[in-house]
């Protein structure tokens, strides 16, 4: 095989030389072909060298881009933690987000831990202090999701911001198109307990979460796909509404297969009316929020968190 008498067959090498004119090594590859173009072995070797150079350069760019996204993720996490976030996780939500949101398949899960002293006072029902804490943490979460949205949009990324509570809820099913808990588990922050709440190793279930979706390809966490509650029945035994069935969650299960959301709602409404609003149903005074908290306080993971914080003082 003879080498071509012109450069029509090696035009891409000329493009390499043009794109990297500052790189003497790249020019050397090109010159070697011109000088020794009648030597077919040198020609073939030069082609291979140039291709290897292209691959290395592509990998370097890929590594550089990954580093940029990692730094972006760390910067965002630091911003959120400095403004009150207790946990931040990132999830790959491709194939999970609703089709109308399919342009934003990265989910950012943001958590704020509940005050330990307030949670420790929940025994047989919610307290007025717990209701105030619930509202306070929701307010912080909504601010954190706003900060996240602004941070990403200023850098040219799309975002979809979900509010901390009652976001896109279907009151006929008591479910949403994309629960905050789903993003949190796929981000590796925790699992779903028998009480249908997110449970984390650090805070137990004494944490509330919110979500921002984006098209920024940030590095994602390792999903958690099954419960770590084991044989524990603490929340099942503590629930006055008998909402948890006692079955352990896994990603292939629907919520209704292990938890009765309507029983939980009914008991929480009664608890909120009796213990927070002096016997008045919250819906009668135009308030949608209903709380209970018994299962949160009963969870051994929460109790571990409460003891750890108490001992630190």
Q: How many CB atoms lie within 10 A of CB 155?
A: 12
266-298 pLDDT, tens digit each: 999 999 888 888 877 656 545 567 899 999 999
pLDDT of residue 183: 97
Banded pLDDT at 4 (limits 50, 70, 90): very low
Cα torsion 311, 78, 65, 18 to 10°: value is -150
> In terms of Cα–Cα distance, which of 158, 212, 223 is closest to 188?
223
pLDDT of residue 122: 94
216-240 pLDDT, tens digit each: 999 999 999 999 999 999 999 999 9
Banded pLDDT at 143 (limits 50, 70, 90): very high
177-186 pLDDT, tens digit each: 999 999 999 9
The model's pTM: 0.78
Q: Is pLDDT of 13 > 80?
A: no
Cα of 164 vs its chain's centroid, Å: 14
Top pLDDT among 270 and 19 is at 270
Give DSSP secondary structure letters for the chain. -PPPSSSGGGHHHHHHHHHTTT-HHHHHHHHHHHHTTT-HHHHHHHHHHHHHHHHHHHHHHHHHHHHHHHHHHHHHHHHHHHTT-SEEEEEE-TTTS-GGGTT--EEEEEEEEPPHHHHHT-SSS--HHHHHHHHHHHHHHHHHHHHHHHHHHTTT--EEEE-SSSTTEETTTTEESS-HHHHHHHTTS-EE-TTSSEEBTTTBT-EEEEEEEES----------B---TT--HHHHH-TT--B-SPPPBTTS-GGGTB-HHHHHHHHHHHHHHHTSTT--GGGGT-------HHHHH-HHHHHHHHHHHHH-
Q: Please compute the mean of the pLDDT values over residues 47-63 and round it to a whole number.
A: 60
Banded pLDDT at 309 (limits 50, 70, 90): confident
Report CA-CA distances (Å) from 270 to 89, 122, 130, 137, 273.
34, 16, 15, 22, 5
Q: Is pLDDT of 203 > 70?
A: yes
114-134 pLDDT, tens digit each: 999 999 999 888 999 999 999
pLDDT of residue 36: 44
């Amino acid at each position: 095989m003879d080498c071509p008498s012109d450069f029509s067959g090696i035009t891409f090498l000329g493009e390499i030389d043009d794109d990297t004119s500052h790189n003497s090594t790249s020019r050397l590859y090109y010159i070697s072909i011109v000088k020794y173009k009648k030597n077919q072995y040198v020609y073939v070797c030069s082609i291979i060298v140039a291709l290897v150079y292209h691959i290395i350069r592509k990998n370097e760019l890929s590594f550089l881009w990954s580093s940029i996204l990692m730094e972006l993720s760390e910067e965002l996490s630091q911003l959120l933690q400095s403004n009150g976030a207790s946990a931040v996780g990132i999830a790959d939500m491709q194939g999970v987000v609703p089709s109308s949101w399919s342009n934003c398949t990265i989910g950012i899960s943001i958590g704020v831990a509940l005050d330990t002293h307030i949670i420790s006072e929940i025994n047989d029902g919610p307290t007025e202090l717990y209701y105030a804490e619930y509202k306070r943490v929701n307010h912080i979460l909504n601010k954190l999701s706003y900060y996240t949205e602004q941070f990403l949009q200023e850098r040219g990324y799309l975002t979809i911001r979900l509010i901390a509570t009652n976001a896109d809820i279907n009151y006929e099913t008591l479910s949403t198109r994309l629960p905050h808990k789903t993003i949190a588990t796929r981000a590796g922050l925790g699992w779903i307990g028998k009480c249908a709440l997110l449970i984390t190793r650090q805070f137990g279930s004494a944490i509330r979460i919110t979500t921002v979706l984006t098209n920024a390809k940030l590095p994602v966490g390792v999903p958690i796909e099954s419960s770590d509650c084991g044989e524990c029945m603490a929340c099942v035994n503590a629930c006055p509404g008998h909402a948890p069935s006692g079955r352990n969650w896994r990603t292939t299960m629907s919520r209704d297969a292990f938890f009765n959301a309507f029983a939980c709602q009914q008991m929480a409404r009664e608890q909120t009316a009796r213990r927070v609003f002096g016997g008045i149903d919250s819906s009668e005074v135009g308030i949608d929020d209903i709380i209970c908290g018994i299962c949160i306080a009963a969870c051994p993971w929460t109790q571990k968190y409460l003891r750890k914080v108490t001992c630190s003082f």
